[in-house]
Amino acid sequence: MIAIESLSKRFPRVTALDRLTVGIEPGVTGLVGANGAGKSTLIKILLGLSPASEGSATVLGMDVATQGGAIRERVGYMPEHDCLPPDVSATEFVVHMARMSGLPATAARERTADTLRHVGLYEERYRPMGGYSTGMKQRVKLAQALVHDPRLVLLDEPTNGLDPVGRDEMLGLIRRVHTDFGISVLVTSHLLGELERTSDHIVVIDGGKLLRSSSTADFTQRTAVLAVEVTDTDAHPDGAAALRKALQQAGHAPHEPDPAQGAAPGAGHLVTLDVGDDVGEAVYDAVRDAAVHLGLGLVRMEQRRHHISEVFTERSAGDVA
Ligand SMILES: Nc1ncnc2c1ncn2[C@@H]1O[C@H](COP(=O)(O)OP(=O)(O)OP(=O)(O)O)[C@@H](O)[C@H]1O
């Protein structure tokens, strides 16, 4: 969908993008970065609205430096800032945007009605937008990005200013843009955890540089932890310790017991160990076999997937250390 090659954007005092290289595949991709990380700058370059200082990028195979107009015909864009004229209705505005994208008058009206219904605006769509809530305005902004049936939409901070319920609804809508219509999505957010459920793929940038690009599952799975709870027996009054030892002997690396957890009820019976690409299924079999061999009751095995935000908190904590 998008290929970005060593892209830089320098303003007189700031380098907003610094030799960024990344590819965006079909599906929903979350572009995550703190405020000022360079997300909006990147989107403007991808739309051909702002020239890069160096490097190159293509969107749907078209060069952003020379084919901006053609890109904007095929791509939808939801800007971050409030950009809706207050004295016209959502219907008038979205019809206008559809006409601007080249749809004939009748098709523009039909598509507008469909799209506004899809984003959840009904009778309000005939009222002037000045009286809309932030959530309604965000929906109109999403509708105008979708009305000309693009292959790809670029959504800049669509959840900005929304309360938690509004945010969840917007994220659900964004997911459906892809599942219902097959439109690929690049969506930005400054909140790390927010796009976890919505995106197939996450790209993280910081200070205009690429921090990481990987599938959402990879992001969280690689750091998953397996928690195993066992009972004690007469032969093994500390079942967890016995299991830990047996797993070590079988070549696995269970975590050392956490002294801070000793006081919690039942915590003494837990054994935790990493499960990731390198360990795979074998660890589950090893836990089962060890429990059987020791005669311990296996209460539960629970895979705890980390959240993306935890991955980064741990990493930055590690960096500091
Ligand atoms: N037109 C401009 N002139 C000068 N500096 C700019 C301009 N546009 C952006 N910048 C700077 O470039 C950096 C990246 O800005 P950008 O808007 O791309 O960040 P962002 O990740 O989208 O953050 P936000 O969500 O806060 O907009 C910031 O330091 C910003 O101040």
**What is the average per-residue pLDDT within 166-176?**
92
Q: Is the CB of 37 under 6 A from ligand 1?
A: yes
Q: What's the pLDDT band for 311 if we cut at 50, 70, 90? A: low
Q: What's the pLDDT band for 82 if we cut at 50, 70, 90? A: confident
For the chain, list the domains and their CATH numbers.
2-220 (3.40.50.300), 224-304 (3.30.70)
pLDDT tens-digit profile of 28-71? Answer: 999 998 888 899 999 999 999 999 999 999 999 999 999 999 99
Average pLDDT score, the chain = 87
For residues 302 and 173, the model is more confident at: 173
Q: What's the pLDDT band for 308 if we cut at 50, 70, 90? A: low
Tell me, what's the pLDDT at 35?
82
Cα 129 to ligand 1 centroid, rounded to whole Å: 28
For residues 177 and 191, the model is more confident at: 177
Burial of 17 (0-12, 13-18, 19+ CB in 10 A): buried
Q: What is the ipTM of this complex?
A: 0.92
Give dist(CA 154, CA 140) in Å, integer: 15
Give dist(CA 53, CA 307) in Å, integer: 35
Probe residue for ligand 1, chosen from 4, 14, 154 as the CB with the greatest number of ligand atoms within 8 Å: 14
Q: Which of 69-73, 120-124, 306-310 has the lowest mean pLDDT?
A: 306-310
Tell me, what's the pLDDT at 221?
64
**What is the average per-residue pLDDT within 234-246?**
92
Cα 167 to ligand 1 centroid, rounded to whole Å: 23
Q: Which residues contact 2 (CB under 8 A, 6 or more apart)?
A: 23, 24, 46, 57, 58, 59, 60, 152, 186
Q: Facing residues of 2 across strands?
A: 24, 59
Is the pLDDT at 156 greater than 70? The verdict is: yes
Q: Is the CB of 14 under 6 A from ligand 1?
A: yes
Cα 3 to ligand 1 centroid, rounded to whole Å: 21
For residues 275 and 271, the model is more confident at: 271
pLDDT tens-digit profile of 276-292? Answer: 655 567 888 889 999 99
